[in-house]
Every structure is written in structure tokens, then in C-alpha cells.
Amino acid sequence: MLTGHDLTIATLVRVFRGRVCLTWAMILAETSLMALIPLFIGFAIDGLLADTLRELWLLAGIMAALIVTAVIRRIYDTRVYGTLRVEMGKEQARRSAQLPVSSLNARLGMGRELVDFLEETLPEAMAAGVQLIIAVIVLYAFSPILALAGGLAVLSMALIYAFFHHRFYRINSALNHQAEMQVSILESRKARPTRAHLLRLRRHEVRLSDTEAALYGMNFVVLLGLILFNLWFAATELVVTVGTIFSVIMYSWEFVESALALPVLLQSWSRLSEIMRRLNGGERPRALMP
């Protein structure tokens, strides 16, 4: 099914578009229901304070629909993406028969990462995008200032990531090069090359982890500032009910959780860009290092 196509995320989506689009539709439905819960919790609080249960029953209905949608999606996703992994592996094995076993073994694992991105990272990013949009709309309904603060926070995070992108790409490239040599090094049965290989892997992984830590630390500073500002603004500048204050805080926090998916998505894309280049012939295996 993948014969004659580049092995990329776009190819997988295009070739299996019917099944992938159905999973995306269920993700959007599930996320939309999830994003409405904080708002309806606020309504339910105000309703209970006014001695009415109508809002509480609406909240229960949304939660029931969410549970059904989430269960069906997970059952379906496992089967769809399992098929994608099989087809990806078959095509890689066919195209890379001339590669050393060490490189082929590593690249089969890298190919699975493309499917993992579609099954795990991209749905999370889509869900975060829907939650982000709904959070901005709700915050804007309370006050445009709250939504503007959120927009500035996202822009700041994107600019922060721009400074890290090339470093992520370089580290992932070095890590993938080293991983491609693992089987050959282990086959040598020599302690010194094996130890050197494991130390190189560790060094690249530490560099990657340190870069991630710096990125997330800077992003958390931005988002913490957003939470504190929205809490202060809602409590001091708006005339609202207890339920509304709850909703403002919950949607501000939901905004923070959703915004954190942005660096995860961009970081994953940095790694996958290097992998797709490697799988499609843009990067040849290096010679075995002692």
C-alpha cells in the first residue's frame, strides 16, 4: 500500500485517510465534550446555589457522552494504528534489504515512531488545539483581556521554541546515528566498544533531556504568569458569581495544559523530520565506530 510513496506522516494520512479521519473525528468530539465540562461545572454550581438541578443533569449527560466516545475511540484506534505499523514495517523491510542489519533494525523502530506520532502525539495536539480554542472563546466571553493574555502566552512559547528547534534536530540526528550501530556493536561481543556505545547514547540522551528541561522551565514561567494574572483580573476587575470565578480559573488552567502540548508537538516534529529524511535516503548509515 505504501509502495512508490515517500515514508512520511503525510503519506500515511493520505493512504489511510478514511480510517485516520474517522479517528480524528472521534478525537474532536471527545475533546469538545471534555472542554465543555468546566463551563457546565460552573453552571451546575450556580444552579445548585439557586436550588435547581437542571444544570447538574446537563453536566451528567455531557460526562456520559464523553465516556462512550472515549471508549469507542480507543478500541478503534488500536486496530487502525496496528495496521499502519504492519504496513510501514513491511515497506521498510522491502526497501532497506541492502542495509546492515543494525541500521535496518534501528530504522524499523524509527518508522514505528511515525505511527506513534499519529496515534499519540497528534491526537493530543489536536485535543489541545480544540481545548485551547474553546478556552480562549470562554475567556473572551468573560473579558477580552483574559483572552488577550492567553494569546500573548502562546506567542511567547512559540518564540521560545524557535530558539531550541535546531538544537533538538542536531541532538536527535546524533542519537539516531548511534542507535543505527547498536546491533553491529553488540555482535562484536567486545566490552570496550559496547561500553563506548552506551556512553555515547547516554551523552546524547542527557543533552536532549537538558534541552527539554530548559524549554519547559521557560514555558512554565510564561504560563504561571498567565494563571496569576487571570486570577487577579477575574477577582478584582470583573463582577461575577462564584461559578463564573471557578470557570475562569478552570479555563485558564485548561489553557495552560493545552498550551503545554505545543512544545511537545514541535519537539516531536523536530525528531520526526530527521527520521523521515533518514528513512527516505537523505541520511546514509555511518561506519561502525570502535
Does 116 reside within a domain?
yes
Per residue in 232-276, pLDDT (tens digit) is 887 777 766 766 777 777 777 777 777 777 777 777 887 888 788
Q: CA nearest 112: which of 132, 142, 86, 144?
A: 86
Does 275 reside within a domain?
yes
Does 174 reside within a domain?
yes
Tell me the residue range of the domain where 169 lies.
9-279
Residue 217 has pLDDT above 70, yes or no: yes
Does 90 reside within a domain?
yes
CATH of the domain at 60: 1.20.1560.10
Task: Give the chain's domain count.
Answer: 1
Q: Which amino acid does the sequence have at 165?
A: H
Q: Check: CB of residue 161 under 8 Å from CB of residue 176.
A: no
78 phi, psi to nearest 5 deg: -55, -40
Does 288 reside within a domain?
no
SS3 of 5, please?
coil
Does 109 reside within a domain?
yes
Q: Write down the pTM of the prediction.
A: 0.65
Does 110 reside within a domain?
yes
Residue 107 has pLDDT above 60, yes or no: yes
